Amino acid sequence: MLPDNEITRVLTVTAHPDDVDFGAAGTVAKFVDRGVEVTYLLVTDGDAGGNERTVDNGGMAELRRAEQIAAAKAVGVTDVRFLGYADGTVVPSLELRRDIARVIRQVRPDLVITHHPDRNYQFVAPSHPDHRAVGGATLDAVYPDARNPYAFPELLAQEGLEAWTVREVWLTGGSTPNHFVDITDTVDRKIAALLCHVSQVAHREGFEEFVRGRWGELAVRAGFGEGRYAEAFQVMSTE
């Protein structure tokens, strides 16, 4: 794993607004506190989400973009980017790989955090097809696309974006994590970020208790003990 002092820029690539907050907001807050530059890249605007359908898809997309920007600010992230793909229909296409590789070359991160591309047979929510598609496309964008100067040559020829090698990837939502981050000191900011997604969580009674219970269980699983909170990742070296 990369030492903490070698992580200076982080890019998260997720499918929908709120995905990064469920998966990694506590960890992101810890990165920000250390002075790490964090960029959020969202493939869709979440226009097919939301419990109460009182607005059309365009209105929902606008609402969820605003919610994600507010949630990012809750953990100290101000660089939030959207690709605008249609929610619920994402596939790991060459176009998506190019669009993610473009942002990798722009941001030049040491670490990328994204969805696990495999189905989780223990818990259904991480296995949304958009999550799996984005995870797979991101891994392909990390290797080989972003680092290969001959992949998507228009990125260099037309946009001046030199190849870039991401050193490590952390996957969220998998069934076999191998790295746990103690987020006890930042769990309140994680919860604050999640509560910004009013269209997604306002109808869920006891939502804060749910978050503390779920991520408290991960801390026990990690060996951090009772009364603590953790986020889980599968670490993947690219070197």
Q: Where are the domains of the chain?
A: 7-237
Distance between CA 73 and CA 70 in Å, rounded? 5
Three-state SS annotation for 108-137 = CCCEEEEECCCCCCCCCHHHCHHHHHHHHH
CATH code for the domain defined by 7-237: 3.40.50.10320
Nearest to 14 by CA among 134, 141, 139: 134
- pLDDT for residue 193: 98
Distance between CA 238 and CA 225 in Å, rounded? 31
- pLDDT for residue 42: 98
| Residue tagged 């807050």 (tokens) | 29
- pLDDT for residue 82: 98
Residue 150 in 3-state DSSP? coil
Distance between CA 224 and CA 110 in Å, rounded? 27
Nearest to 101 by CA among 151, 53, 45, 37: 151
Q: Which amino acid belongs to residue 138?
A: T
User: CA separation (Å) from 120 to 48, 131, 146, 231?
Assistant: 22, 11, 27, 16
- pLDDT for residue 52: 58
Buried b (16+ CB within 10 A) or exposed e, 154-174: ebeeeeebebbebebbbbbbb
Give, for 156, the enclosing helix (H) or strand (E): helix 154-157
How high is the mean pLDDT in each 10-residue block of the chain (239 residues)? 96 98 98 98 91 72 96 98 96 98 98 96 89 98 98 98 98 96 98 96 92 97 97 94
- Judge whether 71 and 111 are in contact, CB under 8 Å: no
Distance between CA 207 and CA 213 in Å, rounded? 10
Nearest to 233 by CA among 190, 187, 184, 179: 179
Distance between CA 77 and CA 48 in Å, rounded? 25
Residue 220 in 3-state DSSP? helix
- Judge whether 61 and 46 are in contact, CB under 8 Å: yes
- pLDDT for residue 109: 98
